[in-house]
Chain A
């Protein structure tokens, strides 16, 4: 029976190999490192975790473009972009701490579970020392908590909820983007000036973390100016037809509609509101108005004609004329052929800020990076003078109030800047009631 013999031999061989493998642990790596995923070779790996599918896929794609651009610039390729205008000169264009920057990408699917799975595989399999990305606050909060537990740095991307640096703040997590409170504080005075003190607002709100905190912030800021909030209706994130939500607005006695929506949601809800003729109505003797508190160029472009004259706020816009913005728009435009969105801008800044913090700290150790970023003041990244506040790891800078352009000159030129709200006006105490209930904890280096 030759068959049995070969099987037995094979089994013996296999068993011997297995035994040898188990019995000869060559290097016991994990306790040797000072912190998790310490880069030992000539490269350092960053994890870019963005939505490639789902409702925020457009934003994710633009973020990924900016990440690739940032990696090029860090490695000394291309024209250097905002590295040249950045107030800190620690980066030399030779990677980070002399190590070439490599990256891995993942799809968050705009779901917390998928995003955490993707981030975990970056940390456990690819040895990423920093995770960045996210186009939804739910995902950002979930991944930030994961990075805190695992012991790597999380540089938040597009996340506008108060909770990210409020009740869910973490020592290992940092946010450059602005938040709902800042939108409200910047927008309310402009709205008061344009539409008057006596207004009745109706809110449609995306039914998740970001929508709730933004609605709360906008309602509080406008009510302080004398507005009345008539109603707040939450809409599921996956809604595509908003007509059943828009129809009741007409009979509610409201004369302002606030759309706390983002991305595809906002495009659809605004389109339905305009199709229902809301903007042509006169209610309470005043013109009916629509407000979109968080604007982005990608959304404005998607909504087309409908955004004309509608007010909102944004973190950054490519038409800014400071040296940093110009340098960034130039190198992004040369590589991809169109101007970057605010999502692209914030993740580019985050990547540079992380790299710079490593250089200044002289290590990739998360605790060193945290120390270098806390209270860090910088300029030249397109938002003017900015500070990473130590108490909650939130960036404080000027906020832009924008309006849909009446006469756009191109498909990218859809927003115009109405006002640059200074930092002092949007600043709040770290223990403000909308942000309280969380604690940073201590930095976690993982090992």
Chain B
């Protein structure tokens, strides 16, 4: 069990290729621009980490956004005080969010089930309110923590350009983008995205190794029947706490990456709706699967960023080929589902997925795959063996 199976390796290779080719694959869907790609990778990482706790261990945390926020604040403070290089920022965001998770996990994990969820929710909401108004010297409240020209940045050379320097990895700036035009599409290859993508791939690999390790088996056992484990004399607390801290560190890493791609940390990042979002992503994609959370994250972010920007004039251009009355009717009906109505569309889709595919998008994928395979095996049985 210590080693990955052949299927796992294939999955990992497939995943790596898909992520690295993201800018090419997503360009035809209007999602191939750096900001959204970065969001896909970051929230994918967030969901992968969340899945270690929720999917593998069975503990539903409703406060994971707090770690995301803590990670962001740590990273921005590093940018303000130390250097615009991303390495110290990421390091601090992982460490601080890990410590924070240790503290919250130590208290919350005394309970399980709904009580655990409520405790984490309470902690997250507390952190949000602290960040929003009480700790304003550290968090800058509702406006969010931002970089200023007058920040010390003691490791960097004195800044005389009059503009805030951009985040970089030893001189390689995160917001530099190479653009290629082909077949009427613009492909944008962005440094920040590839940085996030590599971290996502590494995070995915670690999650995979955890899932296939004895530690992962123990987590699975806790999810299946914790009482029985307790009766057999196993102390489950260290395992759940470890899972909680690991997933908190993933969230902190994601928060740090958010600050790297866009150096601002806002309190609303910690709000309970943000915590709920990652739960939705995981359920939508498929709880307990490795790939599902990343798919779910992509799905939700796509809706938030693409559907919310379709306005009536865009709709009109889509249906301009229809006769006048009909196109107006189409625009009138669809008006409620796009633009400011994107929440409605997402909610409907979420309902459909939960009702018909309780295992999330991954279940849909598996069903499709099985449907094709059974057809294939049937046809290959019918074929004369001589073909081989």
Question: Does B153 sit within 8 A of A, measured CB to CB?
Answer: no
Question: Does A21 sit within 8 A of B, measured CB to CB?
Answer: yes
Question: Does A402 sit within 8 A of B, measured CB to CB?
Answer: no
Instruction: From A118, A142, A149, give the contact of B266 (CB < 8 A).
Output: A142
Identity of the chain B residue whose Cβ is nearest the Cβ of A150 in the assembled complex: B175
Contact assessment for B143 and A142 in the assembled complex, using a CB-CB cutoff below 8 Å: yes
Question: Does A124 sit within 8 A of B, measured CB to CB?
Answer: yes
Question: Does A88 sit within 8 A of B, measured CB to CB?
Answer: no
Q: Give chain B nearest CB distance to A141 CB in angstroms.
A: 5
A326 to B17 Cα, complex, angstroms: 61
Please indicate the chain B residues that have their CB under 8 angstroms from the CB of A107 in the complex: 308-309, 339-340, 342
Instruction: From A24, A124, A137, give the contact of B188 (CB < 8 A).
Output: A124
Contact assessment for B149 and A125 in the assembled complex, using a CB-CB cutoff below 8 Å: no
Please indicate the chain A residues that have their CB under 8 angstroms from the CB of B262 in the complex: 116, 120, 146
Q: Give chain B nearest CB distance to A443 CB in angstroms.
A: 9
Binary per-residue interface labels of chain B (304-343) against chain A in the complex, 1 for a CB within 8 Å, 0 otherwise? 1100110100000000000000000000000000011011
Contact assessment for A113 and B179 in the assembled complex, using a CB-CB cutoff below 8 Å: no
A138 to B132 Cα, complex, angstroms: 12
Count of chain A residues with Cβ under 8 Å from any Cβ of B? 53
Contact assessment for B188 and A142 in the assembled complex, using a CB-CB cutoff below 8 Å: no
A148 to B35 Cα, complex, angstroms: 16
Of the listed residues B147, B150, B269, B309, the one surrounded by the most CB atoms of chain A closer than 10 A to its CB is B309
Interface set, chain A 202-244, CB cutoff 8 A to B: 207-209, 234, 236-237
A209 to B132 Cα, complex, angstroms: 11
A118-B309, A208-B141 known; A30 and B339 CB under 8 Å? no
Contact assessment for A142 and B268 in the assembled complex, using a CB-CB cutoff below 8 Å: no
Contact assessment for B144 and A21 in the assembled complex, using a CB-CB cutoff below 8 Å: no
Instruction: From B163, B178, B269, give the contact of A441 (CB < 8 A).
Output: B163
Question: Does B181 sit within 8 A of A, measured CB to CB?
Answer: yes
Identity of the chain A residue whose Cβ is nearest the Cβ of B258 in the assembled complex: A113
Contact assessment for B132 and A207 in the assembled complex, using a CB-CB cutoff below 8 Å: yes
A26 to B144 Cα, complex, angstroms: 41
Instruction: From A1, A27, A145, A171, give the contact of B264 (CB < 8 A).
Output: A145
Contact assessment for A3 and B266 in the assembled complex, using a CB-CB cutoff below 8 Å: no
A120 to B33 Cα, complex, angstroms: 9
Contact assessment for B166 and A442 in the assembled complex, using a CB-CB cutoff below 8 Å: no
Contact assessment for A113 and B266 in the assembled complex, using a CB-CB cutoff below 8 Å: yes
Question: Does B238 sit within 8 A of A, measured CB to CB?
Answer: no
Question: Does A52 sit within 8 A of B, measured CB to CB?
Answer: yes
A141 to B141 Cα, complex, angstroms: 13
A131 to B180 Cα, complex, angstroms: 25
Please indicate the chain A residues that have their CB under 8 angstroms from the CB of B164 in the complex: 148-149, 441
Contact assessment for B146 and A168 in the assembled complex, using a CB-CB cutoff below 8 Å: yes
Contact assessment for B308 and A3 in the assembled complex, using a CB-CB cutoff below 8 Å: no
Please indicate the chain B residues that have their CB under 8 angstroms from the CB of A52 in the complex: 308, 339-340
Binary per-residue interface labels of chain B (120-144) against chain A in the complex, 1 for a CB within 8 Å, 0 otherwise? 0000000000001100000001111
Question: Does A420 sit within 8 A of B, measured CB to CB?
Answer: no
Contact assessment for A24 and B181 in the assembled complex, using a CB-CB cutoff below 8 Å: no
A145 to B264 Cα, complex, angstroms: 9
A24 to B181 Cα, complex, angstroms: 10
Instruction: From A105, A141, A149, A171, give the contact of B339 (CB < 8 A).
Output: A105
Contact assessment for B33 and A124 in the assembled complex, using a CB-CB cutoff below 8 Å: yes
Q: Give chain A nearest CB distance to B161 CB in angstroms.
A: 7
Contact assessment for A441 and B35 in the assembled complex, using a CB-CB cutoff below 8 Å: no
Q: Give chain B nearest CB distance to A322 CB in angstroms.
A: 32
A234 to B175 Cα, complex, angstroms: 38
Instruction: From A21, A30, A113, A163, give the contact of B268 (CB < 8 A).
Output: A113
Q: Give chain B nearest CB distance to A157 CB in angstroms.
A: 16
A111-B266, A117-B35, A121-B309 known; A138 and B149 CB under 8 Å? no
Question: Does B39 sit within 8 A of A, measured CB to CB?
Answer: yes
Q: Give chain B nearest CB distance to A437 CB in angstroms.
A: 8
Contact assessment for B34 and A124 in the assembled complex, using a CB-CB cutoff below 8 Å: yes
Please indicate the chain B residues that have their CB under 8 angstroms from the CB of A141 in the complex: 143, 146
Question: Does B387 sit within 8 A of A, measured CB to CB?
Answer: yes
Contact assessment for B387 and A53 in the assembled complex, using a CB-CB cutoff below 8 Å: no
Q: Give chain B nearest CB distance to A263 CB in angstroms.
A: 14
Question: Does A104 sit within 8 A of B, measured CB to CB?
Answer: yes
Q: Give chain B nearest CB distance to A320 CB in angstroms.
A: 31
Binary per-residue interface labels of chain B (166-200) against chain A in the complex, 1 for a CB within 8 Å, 0 otherwise? 10000000010111111000111000000000000
A29 to B380 Cα, complex, angstroms: 50
Contact assessment for A121 and B36 in the assembled complex, using a CB-CB cutoff below 8 Å: yes
Please indicate the chain B residues that have their CB under 8 angstroms from the CB of A444 in the complex: 163
Contact assessment for A1 and B388 in the assembled complex, using a CB-CB cutoff below 8 Å: yes
Of the listed residues A125, A208, A209, the one surrounded by the most CB atoms of chain B closer than 10 A to its CB is A125
Identity of the chain A residue whose Cβ is nearest the Cβ of B308 in the assembled complex: A107
A162 to B21 Cα, complex, angstroms: 45
Contact assessment for B179 and A138 in the assembled complex, using a CB-CB cutoff below 8 Å: no
A99 to B387 Cα, complex, angstroms: 64
Q: Give chain B nearest CB distance to A10 CB in angstroms.
A: 14
Instruction: From B150, B182, B305, give the contact of A117 (CB < 8 A).
Output: B305
Contact assessment for B180 and A25 in the assembled complex, using a CB-CB cutoff below 8 Å: yes
A367 to B129 Cα, complex, angstroms: 40
Question: Does A16 sit within 8 A of B, measured CB to CB?
Answer: no
Contact assessment for B30 and A125 in the assembled complex, using a CB-CB cutoff below 8 Å: yes
Binary per-residue interface labels of chain A (101-132) against chain B in the complex, 1 for a CB within 8 Å, 0 otherwise? 00011110001111011101100110000000
Contact assessment for B376 and A138 in the assembled complex, using a CB-CB cutoff below 8 Å: no
Contact assessment for B179 and A112 in the assembled complex, using a CB-CB cutoff below 8 Å: no
A444 to B149 Cα, complex, angstroms: 14
Please indicate the chain B residues that have their CB under 8 angstroms from the CB of A106 in the complex: 308-309
Contact assessment for A121 and B305 in the assembled complex, using a CB-CB cutoff below 8 Å: yes
A106 to B132 Cα, complex, angstroms: 25
A30-B178, A163-B143 known; A18 and B21 CB under 8 Å? yes
Question: Does B384 sit within 8 A of A, measured CB to CB?
Answer: no
Question: Does A2 sit within 8 A of B, measured CB to CB?
Answer: yes
Contact assessment for B311 and A105 in the assembled complex, using a CB-CB cutoff below 8 Å: yes
Contact assessment for A112 and B144 in the assembled complex, using a CB-CB cutoff below 8 Å: yes
Contact assessment for B24 and A1 in the assembled complex, using a CB-CB cutoff below 8 Å: no
Question: Does B233 sit within 8 A of A, measured CB to CB?
Answer: no
Contact assessment for B268 and A441 in the assembled complex, using a CB-CB cutoff below 8 Å: no
Contact assessment for B264 and A142 in the assembled complex, using a CB-CB cutoff below 8 Å: yes
Contact assessment for B179 and A2 in the assembled complex, using a CB-CB cutoff below 8 Å: no
Question: With A26-B181, A112-B143, A163-B143 given, can you name 15 additional A-B contacts, CB distance below 8 Å?
Answer: A28-B179, A29-B179, A105-B309, A105-B311, A107-B308, A112-B144, A113-B144, A120-B262, A125-B33, A141-B146, A142-B146, A168-B146, A207-B132, A439-B150, A442-B162
- Chain A contact residues, CB within 8 Å of chain B: 1-3, 18, 21, 24-30, 52-53, 57, 104-107, 111-114, 116-118, 120-121, 124-125, 137-138, 141-142, 145-146, 148-150, 163, 168, 171, 207-209, 234, 236-237, 438-439, 441-442, 444
Can you spell out 21 A-B residue pairs with CB atoms less than 8 angstroms apart? A21-B187, A30-B179, A104-B311, A105-B339, A106-B309, A111-B268, A112-B142, A112-B266, A113-B144, A113-B269, A117-B35, A118-B308, A121-B33, A124-B34, A124-B188, A142-B264, A148-B164, A208-B141, A236-B132, A236-B133, A441-B164
Q: Which 7 A-B pairs have the closest CB atoms?
A: A442-B162, A208-B142, A52-B340, A120-B35, A125-B33, A124-B33, A112-B266
